[in-house]
Amino acid sequence: MKQKYYILLVVVSFLATSCDPIEDLSLREKFEKTGSPITQAELDAAISITQPIDGQDYKVVIQNSRTDVPGAWHVQTSVGEKIIGTDRDTIVYDKNKKYEIYYTGLSEKQTVTSSVFTVSVSDLPVDEYETFICGAVQGNAAGAKKTWTFQRAEKAVCYNGMLAQWQYSKPFTPGTGQWGSVDLTDIQDQTMTFEFNDSKLTTYDKDGNVMGTGQWASNHNGTNNNQVAGELYTTTAIIGSSLAWQSFTKDKPYWILRISNDEMVLIRPSLYIIPEEPWDYDASYYFLKPKE
């Protein structure tokens, strides 16, 4: 029995003396000792943002060549920011516009952020109405913008009432002296600029002062008998609206009656219905042309 107790004491003694860890001090020094982090200029030189395929600038390749600086890409898209946590990736954009990209990495336990780089995408197809309204064309969309002003329709540049609706097939001869004609002497020479980037819309008074800013969007939602060619949505009122019978609301579109590179005729209806023989006593019409 004494022998068993002796063996047990030896085991306990061994365990008590063997639990002290042996520390590798070189590892502690490796992780505690830090040097100078990479600079922003060095990080800028280490990353690349390229559009390598001719005619397909919507394919953007991002790459970080400093694998010792792990981090993430911050990529602007058409629907918001996207975070990409790989050193190399390819982004395929779905809309022509300008996008911002930057990289944030960890160097010597410190966060380092690159400069913000901008890429322009122009090679995606452009809708015909976008070409008419803001001048964007495939291959040269980003940065496109176009300014519109009033087009005279006899003595009117804007019109309120049903007479123009009777004659929508030839909207530049609505008649004179009837219902709510609006001439330049009443409204003065206002302008509005449609931009492709961010679908920006800016309206100006006759002296060039900004009256309103917002966004715009167009579509081809017309009618089977072509009485309406499409719709124009804006988040700010277009020029001429101060004397229009129909007040501006963001949730209702302007109807596009006619549109080309050289003219645009819009209507702000009161009923938003198109009977077989359209009668809209309170509609407002806008006759527009590009500013020379």
Q: For 263-288, how does the pLDDT look when each residue is reduced to its tens digit (9 = 90+)?
A: 998 888 877 766 544 556 677 888 89
* C-alpha to C-alpha distance for 171 and 155, rounded to whole angstroms: 12
Q: Which two tokens stand for residue 93?
A: 């954009």
Return d(Cα 252, Cα 25) in angstroms, integer: 72
Average of per-residue pLDDT values in the chain? 81
Are 110 and 138 found together in one domain?
no
Query: What number is the average pLDDT over the span 207-231?
Result: 87
Q: Are residues 181 and 137 in the same domain?
A: yes
- Residue 135 domain boundaries: 128-290
The verdict on 95 and 225 lying in the same domain is no
Q: Which of 224, 219, 291, 225 is nearest to 259 (CA)?
A: 219
**Tokens (6 digits) for 231:** 């719709």
Residue 62 lies in a domain: yes
Question: In terms of domains, do 95 and 215 share one?
Answer: no
pLDDT > 90 fraction of the chain, expressed in percent and rounded: 51
Q: Answer yes or no: do 206 and 222 share one domain.
A: yes
**268 plus 159 within the same structural domain:** yes
With contact defined as beta carbons under 8 Å apart, do 288 and 149 qualify?
yes
Label residues 141-155 b or e (16+ Cβ within 10 Å = b). Answer: bbebebbbbbbebee
Question: Do 142 and 253 reside in the same domain of the chain?
Answer: yes
- Is the same domain home to 247 and 155? yes
